[in-house]
Amino acid sequence: MNIASPATGMETKGASLSSPAASTPIGVALGLPSVGAGGLPEALPILALGAWFKHAACLLEDGRAQFGPNLGDLDNADACRAVEPAALALLARAATPVRAIAHDLHPDFHSTRVACALAARLGVPAIGVQHHHAHVGAVLAEHGRFDARPVLGLALDGVGLGTDGEAWGGELLWVAGGEFVRLGHLRPLRLPGGDRAAREPWRMAAALLHASGRGDEIARRFPGQPAAALLAQVLARPALSPPSSSLGRHFDAAAGLLGLCEVMHNEAEAAIALERLASGTAAPEVTPGDWRICDAGGALRGQADGARSRTDRGAPAAGSVPQPDDRAHPYAGAQPPGGTLELDLHPLLLRLADEPEPARGAARFQATLAAALVAWVEEARQRTGCATVVLSGGCLHNRLLADALHAALPARGFEVLGARRLSPGDAGLALGQAWVAMHRLAATKED
């Protein structure tokens, strides 16, 4: 599967509905607190080259982050040709020579290739950073959190290459500086037709129906789609329908099931239509049975080289009491125990498949999604002791979702950090890459 090109779910260009976060201040310096003592200052400056969407490089120095121009998506020759000159312009502004160049884990991104070539020419390390780890790091950097104290990271977007080689996008992470553990993820949906499913919400709706044993409904529900009659055969072939934990694709499935959008002609069109309809409708009462949280096995740990390891250590008892002080919990200063918390939203999507009123279905989806995410984070706090939550990823452009999480989580005793001046999506990603790389480089020097 080529995950370089699917749309990022809720990251919009000029959408009328957006989160309270401002857009990334491109081309100007973002003032930050000092990184503090220890080995972090010696690891700076670091240049980071972002990813594929909303590409903007970032130079992180002690006390400021300098962004380059937003070149847009790297899906055309003009944008790709501009990547290296923009990176060189940032290098020329650095007060001292850079110590490393950070990039996305995806090896086929043009930004990754430029980063590796520049690092080789300069004789400095090229440091790959997992996409969602970088999303969390960007918010922490913006808030001046340069220490490695563990936090929970809720990274919600359309796609990012995971350390297991699959498409991630609905992630619950434990983050401690340059390390992370994938505590949980959304139950995957298949992408029938690969990248094409990211542009055609009816395919995501069909994937949900097929996974629920209702594949015989696909052709009847989507008679205007020539491929509908044969899509069940595509879904039966894993090579043609890779899995993804993307929340953006769940938004698409919901819009497809409610008949709001079958094929997108504009970025995030389906998700925006869903949000607009829900914003004018009173949400029905949330039903806890519309989602499930289950332990899906060993935790997948993120490492500097993208290697994988698993743990079979037991988790704390299910009835353990959350600790309001992160430092008071036995796992707060070390990697958490095993067990991957899978959040299953398939029951919610199935309910939408039988909903005769699209507006009520849209409102139900928004309200239930927020409640399920809060319950998921609560479970993670019980396991880890972390009471600080970082909200990140392009889906946080959805105002209804962002507002619901920013209201519900503090009410349950969480400290919540979200994007403020930066975009929660990929436009600010390079700052997070630099933040992670700084921690990894500092740890290497200490060793």
pLDDT in tens, 116-157: 999 999 999 999 999 999 999 999 999 999 999 999 999 999
- Mean pLDDT score, 383-397: 96
Token reading at 24: 């990334």
Where are the chain's structural domains? 29-134+427-446
- Mean pLDDT score, 353-362: 96
pLDDT band (50, 70, 90) for residue 238: confident
CA-to-CA dists, residue 7 to 4, 169, 268, 354, angstroms: 9, 11, 7, 27
Query: Given the structure tokens 């929970």, which residue do they identify?
Result: 152
Residues facing 389 on adjacent strands: 152, 416
Q: Is the pLDDT of residue 392 over 50?
A: yes
Q: What is the mean pLDDT of the chain?
A: 86
With CA atoms as reference, report the closest residue to 133 among 164, 167, 177, 101: 177
Sequence-ordered list of residues with C-beta below 8 angstroms from that of 364, at least 6 positions apart, any chain: 283, 284, 290, 348, 351, 352, 355
CATH topology for 29-134+427-446?
A: Nucleotidyltransferase; domain 5 (3.30.420)
Find the helix or strand (DSSP H, E) in which 158 lies. Answer: strand 151-161
Strands 292-295 and 167-176: unpaired
Q: Is the pLDDT of residue 267 over 90?
A: no
- Looking at 319-357, list the stretches that DSSP marks H as alpha helix, in order from N- to C-terminal side: 346-353
- Looking at 62-183, list the stretches that DSSP marks H as alpha helix, in order from N- to C-terminal side: 77-93, 110-122, 131-142
Q: Is the pLDDT of residue 306 over 70?
A: no
Lowest mean pLDDT among 70-84, 300-314, 371-385, 394-408: 300-314
Give dist(CA 107, CA 113) in Å, integer: 7
Q: Is the pLDDT of residue 313 over 80?
A: no
Residue 65 CB-half CA count within 13 A: 31
pLDDT band (50, 70, 90) for residue 307: very low
Upstream peptide bond of 45 is cis (omega within 30 degrees of 0): yes
Model pLDDT, residue 304: 34
CA-to-CA dists, residue 154 to 257, 326, 377, 399, angstroms: 26, 17, 8, 16
